[in-house]
Amino acid sequence: MKKITLLLLTIAGINSCLVAQNNNHDQFQAKILTALLDSTHSYLWDTTNVDWAYNFKETYIYDVNNNDTLDLNELWNGTSLDSNIRSIYTYDVFNNQTSYLKQTYTAGVWVNTSIYTYTYDVNNNQTNRIYQTWNGTVWVNVLNYVYTYDANHNQITSLTQTWNGTVWVNLNQNASTFDVNNNLTYLLNQTWNGTIWVNHLQKTYTYDVNNNQLTLINQTWNGTVWNNTSQYTNTFDVNNNKISSLYQTWNISVWVNNIYYTYTYDANHNQLTYLTQNWVSNNWQNTSQFFYTYDVTNNKTDYMHQNYVVASSAWLNNDSAHYYYRQLPVSTNNLTAVQQNCTLYPNPANSQTTLCFSTDEVRTIKIINSIGEVVKTITTITKQISIGKEEELKAGIYYLQISNNNSVFNKKLIIID
């Protein structure tokens, strides 16, 4: 009976690929990655000249898999750019970041300052992160982070340790719980007193039916009970964009207004503005605001930050930036054989769908949700892959980011109830 069932499932899977290949409803979707950030140019507001003054430039270099491998920061000296800081990144064959080296430019040479080293499990979950600083001769241990995950790849514990010169010593730890939709609902932070773990703070989260975070309550341990300290209350529009966030603090008996954040978006759900206000004398008073602009492919091109001057009741420019991109090919005329012969059926799907390839060149598949979070990374690739059931995808829009040695593209997947 098992053999018959397995045979039927196999035939069904093959048939789904054949059906998909003979239907045109699942055309290749636009790439998530349409451009790579080439450089950032930052400016500060010059109140004397009443104009923007060049501050620094950040340049980015990528490998063949579009991983950021080098960030170079250069400061403007009034005439030319001087090397300042650079960050160097390395990756494994699954495009997981394995190291982050930071160096400063001193007396004409690059000098090490710090390094992070990362390790991963077979599911590409980061399990360890070590932070070290350079003492002029060798790397010296500073902090060690250890992580564990549940079956859904949610991080359920994180342990932080400090180096005492000989061994790693416990510092603090977090324990997290998640709901059936993989939303973080509770986080407990404890500190090590040399003998046992002692409660320090806890965070409790709630969500709406669309898995938007509605509230976050922070509490601290006084040795006997948990005391309220602060809370966030969020609201969202019909497109699940966060439009406001109220931050309040606890004053023994009631919640007191502290900071209010409001956000606006364009038709493509790109954030246009971000306003911060403080609660002063029973009124909300402007403090700072941010503006963002985007190109036709939704890449952020400009940013501006202003602070509010109460005395003059006016906004004063503070800093700004302009972003330049290196465009990636998005025309279907340039699709590789992998992209042209990749099919996904059914789509929309109730719970499970099948992704089919005509070649074996695919290296990784990342399942990305609508807010850009990687739900799962698949590295064991066959020409036919079932997606949805094992990952327990909830209803919504996902992107399957598919990588081979030459390109990165995506397929849009819709999961319905």
Say what the pTM is.
0.74
* SS3 of residue 281 by DSSP: coil
Taking the C-alpha atoms of residue 270 and residue 268, their distance in angstroms, rounded to an integer, is: 6
The domain limits of the chain are: 2-30+334-415, 35-327
> Residue 49 contacts by C-beta under 8 Å, 6 or more apart in sequence?
none
Which numeric CATH code is attached to 2-30+334-415?
Answer: 2.60.40.3080
H-helix or E-strand spanning residue 414: strand 408-415
Taking the C-alpha atoms of residue 163 and residue 151, their distance in angstroms, rounded to an integer, is: 31
The fold adopted by the segment(s) 35-327 is Lipocalin (2.40.128)
Write out the chain's pLDDT in tens, 417 residues: 333 333 333 334 434 444 443 433 333 333 345 689 999 999 999 999 999 999 999 999 999 888 999 999 999 999 999 999 999 999 998 889 999 999 999 999 999 999 999 999 998 999 999 999 999 999 999 999 999 999 989 999 999 999 999 999 999 999 999 999 999 999 999 999 999 999 999 999 999 999 999 999 999 999 999 999 999 999 999 999 999 999 999 999 999 999 999 999 999 999 999 999 999 999 999 999 999 999 988 899 999 999 999 999 999 999 999 999 987 754 444 446 667 678 888 888 887 888 888 777 777 888 887 766 788 888 877 888 888 766 678 777 788 888 876 667 778 888 876
CA distances from 276 to 18, 239, 323 (A): 54, 22, 24
* Phi, psi for 67 (deg, rounded to 5): -85, 135
